[in-house]
């Protein structure tokens, strides 16, 4: 079926007019993954993304992306580029498959299979952003909540050191506290508590504000948990007084929701892995303790590009959400051991990988299959592809792990899923046993 027929319900082969609107498009500009976007297409380009926020409009753009395929500095055919990637991976002693954002769950599944065949390491952006929240949930469990539950049930919302306006612009208007819920009214029927952590304030229009010094964040959470579990806990000092004030506003709720940013950078410039893990664990403990008194969910915010999808795909295929190694022929979990690869295959938008991650790869050969791969100056092999949800259909997960349909809205470059399938065939056939093409070092590629 043609993409136009699939979108509009028209018969197969029906041709879409030059200027048309596609309803119910999902946006991966942030983790909210709003699925009510109205995309207007004109002359094969995106003219407008109705209902989208500023992040969404930037993510959609006009839909144009490059469509180049190159090896070192030469433009080549896709077949030659696939052969080059396969040759490099076949000769690598410590290959790494890295899932960047803006690819579908279907593509992520194929990447897991490729890592298995190559006995490679497999990682995602999650390891450098939200790993603390995931490890804490693995250790303690987690009382979560879908965004639908937040919208329809939450009468008290505690925003812990985060104002969604900046990174999740439609969270407040689409989920809470502004919309009318099934079991609770709109803004007037909800209480919003903003806990300002150092330079990380909560929403500006909160009903209640509590200031917490950044170096007392975890201690305040631990005190809050103790008071919720035992309201008779004696208090002494400003820290415990703040915790008691927050607890007295949360425990009368019918359905309380704690909103926190799961991204590692959320904990401040001087945070460490240990402090991030302690903070994530303490947030989970507070939510669990509140469920002894009332109902409470922890809503952790994530950036866009189907990052939550990668976590779920890896968990379903390997048992682990990130930092997986197939070196021994079966998946093992290495969440705190950074791999030292000699070749890295990036699948997805390489420009969205944190700089600290790419710097840690050192002189490893970099092979990029994803949107705007040819613009990645350090890539030895680059295959430009389209973006999931713009040029290709598929599945993505919202930051609360709810799966959503991705729709194709315009034509674009190759589908990364097809590229991985071709690479898999070459790898399985053994056709990549010849010598790899000469590669530049990472230093040479950025001069």
Check pLDDT > 80 for residue 252. yes
pLDDT over 50 (residue 379)? yes
The number of beta carbons lying within 10 Å of the beta carbon of residue 73 is 8
pLDDT band at 37 (very low <50, low <70, confident <90, very high): very high
Q: What percent of the chain has pLDDT over 70?
A: 90
Q: Pick 182 or 337 by higher pLDDT.
A: 182
What would the pLDDT profile of 102-139 be if each residue is shown by its tens digit?
Answer: 999 999 999 999 999 999 999 999 999 999 999 999 99
56 and 46 Cβ atoms separated by less than 8 Å: no
Q: Looking at residues 216-224, what average pLDDT do you find?
A: 97
Mean pLDDT of the residues in the chain: 91
The residues, ordered by sequence, that sit 6+ positions from 437 with a Cβ below 8 Å of its Cβ are: 71, 72, 84, 87, 88
What pLDDT sits at residue 442? 41
Range 66-88 average pLDDT: 96
Q: What is the rounded average pLDDT of the residues 53-80?
A: 96
Task: State which CATH number among 3.40.228.10, 3.40.50.2300, 3.10.105.10, 3.40.50.720 fits the domain covering 131-301.
Answer: 3.40.228.10
Range(s) within the chain of domains with CATH label 3.40.50.1220: 69-127+305-387+412-445
The span from the CA of 111 to the CA of 122, in Å, is 9
The class of domain 69-127+305-387+412-445 in CATH terms is: alpha beta
* Residue 17 binned pLDDT confidence (cut-offs 50, 70, 90): low
Domain span(s) for CATH 3.40.228.10 in the chain: 131-301
State what percent of residues in the chain have pLDDT above 90.
Answer: 85
Residue 441 confidence class, pLDDT cut points 50, 70, 90: very low
Least confident of 231-235, 284-288, 387-391: 231-235
pTM for this prediction: 0.91
């Amino acid at each position: 079926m043609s993409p136009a027929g699939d979108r509009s319900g028209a018969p197969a082969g029906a041709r879409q007019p030059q200027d048309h609107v596609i309803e119910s498009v999902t946006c991966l500009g942030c983790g909210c993954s709003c699925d009510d976007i109205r995309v207007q297409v004109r002359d094969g380009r995106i003219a407008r993304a109705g209902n989208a926020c500023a992040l969404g409009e930037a993510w959609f753009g006009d839909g144009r992306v490059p469509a180049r395929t190159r090896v070192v500095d030469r433009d080549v055919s896709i077949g030659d580029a696939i052969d080059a990637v396969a040759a490099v991976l076949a000769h690598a002693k410590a290959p790494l498959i890295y899932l960047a954002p803006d690819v579908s769950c279907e593509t992520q599944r194929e990447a897991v299979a490729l890592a298995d065949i190559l006995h490679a390491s497999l990682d995602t952006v999650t390891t450098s952003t939200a790993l603390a929240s995931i490890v804490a949930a693995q250790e303690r469990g987690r009382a979560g909540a879908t965004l639908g539950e937040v919208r329809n049930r939450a009468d008290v919302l505690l925003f812990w050191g985060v104002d969604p306006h900046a990174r999740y612009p439609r969270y407040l208007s689409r989920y809470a506290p502004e919309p009318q819920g099934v079991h609770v009214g709109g803004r007037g029927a909800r209480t919003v508590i903003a806990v300002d952590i150092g330079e990380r304030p909560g929403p500006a229009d909160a009903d209640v504000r509590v200031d917490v010094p950044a170096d007392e964040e975890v201690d305040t959470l631990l005190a809050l948990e103790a008071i919720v579990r035992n309201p008779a806990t004696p208090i002494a000092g400003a820290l415990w007084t703040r915790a008691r004030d927050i607890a007295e506003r949360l425990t009368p709720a019918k359905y309380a929701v704690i909103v926190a940013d799961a991204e590692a950078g959320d904990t401040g410039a001087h945070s460490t892995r240990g402090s991030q893990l302690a903070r994530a664990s303490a947030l989970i403990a507070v939510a669990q303790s509140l469920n002894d008194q009332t109902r409470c969910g922890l809503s952790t915010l994530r950036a866009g590009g189907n990052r939550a999808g990668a976590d779920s795909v890896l968990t379903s295929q390997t048992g682990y959400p990130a930092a997986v190694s197939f070196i021994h022929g079966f998946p093992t979990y290495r969440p705190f051991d950074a791999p030292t690869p000699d070749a890295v295959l990036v699948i997805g938008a390489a420009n969205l990988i944190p700089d600290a991650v790419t710097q840690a790869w050192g002189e490893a050969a970099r092979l990029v299959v994803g949107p705007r791969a040819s613009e990645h100056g350090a890539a030895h092999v680059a295959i430009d592809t389209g973006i999931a949800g713009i040029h290709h259909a598929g599945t993505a997960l919202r930051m609360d792990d709810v799966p959503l349909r991705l729709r194709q809205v315009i034509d674009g470059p190759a589908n990364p899923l097809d590229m991985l399938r071709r690479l898999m065939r070459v790898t399985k056939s053994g056709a990549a046993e010849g010598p790899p093409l000469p590669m530049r070092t990472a230093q040479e590629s950025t001069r």
